Amino acid sequence: MAYDFMLEAARSEPFIISEDIILRLHKLFYNKIDSDQAGVYRNDRVFITGTEYLPPAPKDVPVLMQAFINELNEIWDSTHPVVLSAFAHKKLVDIHPFIDGNGRIARLLMNLILINRGYQIISIPPILRTEYINALEVARCNGDNTAFDVFIAECEVESQKDYCRMFEIKLP
């Protein structure tokens, strides 16, 4: 259901990222797991397994999310779609607005942007999980998103290659 909504939202006109879209993605994804927490910002401090990163305090989440959405919409036209989608993904997982499911919602948001801008859906396979986490950590530690942008761009290229193979389009 969240995936279907993501596709529907990506094709809507006029298109604008809103808090409602992000909250609805989470509600649709998380409702069967914990209906009380689905589609609402967290009220508790959270910790991310496998990292020393400490997400913002719950009281700061609404303001950070609004600032994130504003910034995303401000840079929409001036940023390459793949870089924009990587930015959206990283920023959402950094804010970590939900009690659980933040990575999945970040990937749905990333793909919503990619689809809207004419790119392929990206899947981050489990075999690349360590590389994915490392790229996020590098971006967090040094404030330079290049490693994460490159990781997402490489995933996009692989997704496009998959379509070429599926349709038997020879690549140079």
pLDDT single digits (tens) 25-41? 999 999 999 999 999 99
- Amino acid identity at 68: F
pLDDT attached to residue 112: 97
- 1 band by pLDDT with thresholds 50, 70 and 90: confident
Average pLDDT over residues 114-136: 94
Average pLDDT over residues 108-118: 96
Q: Is 96 an annotated catalytic residue?
A: yes
Query: How many angstroms separate the CA atoms of 10 and 116, rounded?
Result: 5
Which residues, at least 6 apart from 50, have a Cβ–Cβ distance to it below 8 Å?
Answer: 133
pLDDT over 90 (residue 72) = yes
End-to-end CA distance of the chain: 38
Query: How many angstroms separate the CA atoms of 14 and 7, rounded?
Result: 14
Q: Which two tokens stand for residue 136?
A: 């996020």
**Looking at domain 2-119, does it have CATH number 1.10.3290.10?**
yes
Query: How many angstroms separate the CA atoms of 99 and 102, rounded?
Result: 8
Query: How many angstroms separate the CA atoms of 106 and 109, rounded?
Result: 5
- 88 band by pLDDT with thresholds 50, 70 and 90: very high
